[in-house]
Chains A and B, each alone.
Chain A
Amino acid sequence: MSASPAPALLIDDPAVLVEALQRQGWRVIGPQARDGAITYDPLTPGATLPKGLTDTQEGGHYRLGAGDPGRWFDYVVGPQSWKKHLFPSRQKLWEASRTDDGFAVTPVQDDYPKTAFFGVRACEIAAMEVQDRVFDNGDFADPGYGRRRAATLIVAVNCTRAAATCFCASMQTGPRAKAGFDIALTELATGTGLLVEVGSDRGAEIVDGLDLPRANAAHRAEAEAASAAAAAMQTRAMPPGMAGVLAANLDHPQWQVVADACLSCGNCTMACPTCFCSDVEDVNDLSGDHTERWRTWDSCFTVDFTYVHGGAVRRSTASRYRQWMTHKLSSWEAQFGTSGCVGCGRCIAWCPVGIDITAEAAAIAASPVPKE
């Protein structure tokens, strides 16, 4: 997706774009207000985008409520990420059946039609680009992930407000998407529509068919200013240089402090848009003649995660929290050339006890253990 010089346009109602995509045969997955939260589910024809909603987020707190009734995208990220579509939480990898001379294995491919992700925030594009590196590591590529990613069109929405849990500005992943989208929308002043920018030829083709009016320089400046305001309102920030700080502080007393609060529930890993760990399980039928290999999301917060004969390696919560956070902020950089954190704040909001990764990082950065 190379940057395209196509001029910015204006659209009054984002649903027009959803309908255009659907008419062109795209399955559109977009935000839905469901169970008191924003979720990312397929938009059935005629389904409406949520409007007039906003969210309040804090450590261990998320509420979706009424906002400015004229605004489409005044909520930010909910508990789910697009990860669940590109890297399904349960995925059948293959099946095997008993035969006269042993067994036969049949690979399984899931059905993933060409799909448009509608309403992808900048931090979420960054998260996808992180997982792109995870699932194609140079030696091996996950064929399912690659196939799904290639069949996915990205319609980004640039955030014009931030929740209290957001810290994308400090991770340089947002709030404005610079690349990685086919089409990007930025909501302008209430009632004046949305700025439409094109990020790829594929996106240009879709937008061309809509016959939209051109935006002027003032519109573009307003969109930039709205994103800048969303960055400026962020109250949390990741301290700089955490990769080195954590690598040098693996014995820091703060690991035990956070472990005393941490329930080791794994919510942060499930909500995280980049966490990629998985387990496999074999599911047999009652005859014992048919079996299926499933891949499921897993979490480094479980004791079983490190089980080897004789027991688990990481038995204490402190060791498991250390693993999660040092992986996310430190060893990830050595593995994949990027931080594993995109600053979306989900792990803060969805932690049942409100553990704040930025505060934990700051606590260690502020009192590093002296070198031996």
Chain B
Amino acid sequence: MTAMPKPGAMPDPMVPRRFRVRKAWDEIDGVATMELDPVDGPQIAFQPGQFNMLYAFGVGEIAVSISGDAARADTLTHTTRAVGAVSTAITRLKAGDMVGVRGPFGSAWPIAEQEGRHIVFVAGGLGLAPLRPAIYHVLNNRDRYAGFTLVYGARSPSELVFADEVKDWKSRFDTEIEVTVDHAAPGWTGHVGVVTTWLDKTLLTVDPATVSAFMCGPEIMMRFSAASLANAGVAAERQFVSLERNMKCAIGFCGHCQYGADFICRDGPVFRYDAVAARLKLKEF
């Protein structure tokens, strides 16, 4: 996507830098957020949509998107779901613990290039985490954008991350936010249904020619959301997605994240939708 600054003075791009956990807290069951301070060298400056390789001592390394505000230059924030050995170790880190970091890597949401437009964010589950830096950017610079819509879906109410923050965003008068779950639970009074149901509805109220969409979630959600956007008349070149694949190096050497000719670590993770639409239809690609 947009050209990225190369990672700073990094003698060997495979060697992690040490960071210390400033604060860590659970978001929902199995999902934790931590803020990191550098032990060696400067804080990492990043652009919304980029990711780091996080290393838990003696366990291993995984790619994790940066979930914090890029404008807060002193803070590096990651939100991780415990799904494997490394991610579990990372979600268990506490304030004062040390973690290794390499990065930042990858392409960014071209959010600054979409100034003046109505920004529609579509998030599924923890897909809200890689979108959150872009959301912060739009909310912090709200007067530079024509509109703000977030359609956020999760399997169940207990799977909604950043729920309190989403409520705060919704309480602003200059945002349009729809939250939906696949399966309701006792006490849930919000929407039930797939993301596209509410995306379709919100798109009825905006001029599609002004919409730029940023999507992150399961690939099937992004495919159907892109179809909804296309049906509503939003141009393919105004739609952006973030993709995920296995990564071992993040610098284009290990080959794991290849997606056709693209290395998701270098050419992605953020792509213009029309660049990947054909591939998203291929099975086991």
A interface residue numbers (CB < 8 A to B): 93-94, 96, 98, 101-105, 107, 134-135, 137, 139-140, 142-143, 250-251, 276-280, 282, 284, 288, 291, 293, 295, 298, 300, 305-309, 313-316, 318-319, 323, 326-327, 330-331, 334-335
B84 and A309 within 8 A (CB): yes
B interface residue numbers (CB < 8 A to A): 6, 11-16, 18, 20, 39, 57-61, 81, 83-84, 87, 97-98, 100, 244-246, 248-249, 251-256, 258, 260-261, 263, 266, 282-285
B248 and A279 within 8 A (CB): yes
8 closest A-B pairs by CB: A102-B98, A277-B255, A319-B284, A334-B261, A331-B261, A140-B251, A309-B83, A103-B57
Report the Cα distance A194→B52, complex, angstroms.
Answer: 54
Q: A96-B58, A102-B18, A280-B61 given; name 18 further pairs at CB < 8 Å.
A: A94-B12, A102-B98, A103-B57, A103-B98, A137-B252, A140-B252, A276-B255, A280-B60, A282-B60, A284-B58, A295-B14, A298-B255, A309-B84, A309-B87, A313-B245, A314-B284, A326-B260, A335-B263
Report the Cα distance A93→B53, complex, angstroms.
Answer: 15
A306 and B256 within 8 A (CB): yes
A62 to chain B, nearest CB (A): 26
Closest to B219 in A: A313
Closest to B247 in A: A308
A93 and B14 within 8 A (CB): yes
A102 and B57 within 8 A (CB): yes
Closest to B16 in A: A105
With a CB–CB cut-off of 8 A, which chain A residues contact B263? 335
Closest to B250 in A: A140
A18 to chain B, nearest CB (A): 33
B57 to chain A, nearest CB (A): 5
Closest to B218 in A: A310
B21 to chain A, nearest CB (A): 10
B284 and A313 within 8 A (CB): yes
B100 and A105 within 8 A (CB): yes
Given A137-B266, A276-B253, A331-B261: A102 in contact with B97 (beta carbons within 8 A): yes
B256 and A139 within 8 A (CB): no
B59 and A282 within 8 A (CB): yes
Report the Cα distance A306→B246, complex, angstroms.
Answer: 5
B57 and A280 within 8 A (CB): no
A93 and B15 within 8 A (CB): yes
With a CB–CB cut-off of 8 A, which chain A residues contact B251? 137, 139-140
Report the Cα distance A139→B283, complex, angstroms.
Answer: 30
Closest to B244 in A: A308
With a CB–CB cut-off of 8 A, which chain B residues contact A96? 57-58, 100
B15 and A105 within 8 A (CB): yes
With a CB–CB cut-off of 8 A, which chain B residues contact A143? 11-12
